[in-house]
Amino acid sequence: MRKESMHHQVEIIYSQTDQCPMTDSSFNFFQFVHIVSGSGSHEVNGNRITYQAGSFLLITPNDYHAFYVETLTEFLIIRFNKGYIKEYQWKSIDHIECLLHNASHVSGCIIENANDKLLVNSIVGSILHNIKYNDLYNNDLNQHLINALIVIAARNIAKFKPANIKEHANKKIVDIINYIQSNIYSPGQLKAPVICGKFGVSTNYLSVYFKEACGETITHFIANYRLRLIEYRLNFSDCRINELVEEFGFADESHMNKFFKRHKGMSTSTYRGAKDALVISA
DNA sequence: TACTTCGCGCGAGACAGACA
DNA sequence: TGTCTGTCTCGCGCGAAGTA
């Protein structure tokens, strides 16, 4: 299987085809694929989901994927590598690479928010316009537009809901989940009395209420979300363990270590060491 | 059906000490 | 210096049962 690589940190490719433009290839960069027009399906790591005009897909490094085009399809493909993510100063999101990797388990369009869909369509339209009408500073302009797409993608990924959240879940439970995800770095804000006070639910009823709507207890949900972020930070950052301890609001390293080991069966440093060994041997 | 009460078990926090 | 392990205490969350 061939391995694609990039010549620049960011590349924009416009393609119109009725055949598969990218089949069964692997690569070490991120790709946004916006479907300008057309329909078909997209298979990522064995999951096949239909696409249509307006779909905004994210393919993460080392995903195996293929497009199955049904009607003539226009693709706008934006590629950027890890170096690009690390170099750019994201004001409020210092773990954006983690968020993008976080979407590797998600198939289909990554933009769920209706307003963000409009925003993405507008930005993609501007990029297409810049490609068509080459002008002074277009590269800089496109880079800013791509950064905007990255931020929009990150915030939609950050708001992915639990897989088994009930269809009828009311606005309150969605608000609670959003609140948890927004305050995941402040454990004090995630205590039951605080959440209950904010959302007008009885302290002892919260866990029942949450489990009824989401199929898992609130502490399990918080622990899993926290654990996933720690995993990504261990995988994709050079942060020291005690920096993560501070970031995630643990009392000390031992506490985070116990938390991590209880769920993953190994200490944080062992986990990072195992990951590094895999990278070296790859 | 929506919410409350209550008792128990678990996990968070604090600390000491070991190890590389 | 950075990380890991063990122990102890206490508060909190969970789930069962009860109530309106």
Q: Which residue is nearest to nucleotide B13 (CA to C1')?
A: A251
CA–C1' gap, A268 and C5, in angstroms: 13
What proportions of chain A, in percent to the nearest 5, are helix, strand and coil? 50, 20, 30
Extract the tokens encoding A13: 């490719």
- pLDDT given at position A112: 77
Confidence of residue A282 (pLDDT cuts 50, 70, 90): very low
Q: Which nucleotide is the nearest neighbour of A269, by CA and C1'?
A: C3
Extract the tokens encoding A91: 């004001």
CA–C1' gap, A207 and C14, in angstroms: 7
Tell which residue, A249, A198, A190, A194, has the closest CA to residue A222: A190
What structural domains does chain A harbor?
A: 2-158 (2.60.120.280), 171-281 (1.10.10.60)
Nucleotides of B under 7 A from a protein CB: 3-7, 11-17
User: Can you list the positions of beta strands (E) in A28-166?
Assistant: 30-44, 47-51, 56-59, 65-80
Q: Which nucleotide is the nearest neighbour of A196, by CA and C1'?
A: C13
H or E element that contains A13 = strand A10-17
Euclidean distance between CA atoms A193 and A202, whole angstroms: 8
* DSSP for residue A190: G
Q: For residue range A87-145, what is the model confidence (pLDDT) as tens digits?
A: 766 665 556 666 676 665 556 788 877 889 999 999 999 999 999 888 888 888 999 99
Confidence of residue A241 (pLDDT cuts 50, 70, 90): confident
Q: Which nucleotide is the nearest neighbour of A253, by CA and C1'?
A: C3
**Helix, strand, or coil (residue A26):** strand
Neighbours of A93 (CB within 10 A): 14
Nucleotides of C under 7 A from a protein CB: 2-7, 12-17
CA–C1' gap, A204 and C14, in angstroms: 9
Q: For residue range A174-211, what is the model confidence (pLDDT) as tens digits?
A: 777 777 777 777 777 777 777 777 777 766 677 777 77
pTM to 2 decimals?
A: 0.65
- pLDDT given at position A171: 66
Q: Which residues touch strand C (CB under 7 A)?
A: A 191-193, 203-204, 206-208, 210-211, 217-220, 240-242, 253-254, 257-258, 261, 267-270
Q: Which residue is nearest to nucleotide B12 (CA to C1')?
A: A255
CA–C1' gap, A129 and C4, in angstroms: 56
Q: Which residue is nearest to nucleotide C4 (CA to C1')?
A: A254
Do the beta carbons of residue A155 and residue A19 sit within 8 Å?
no
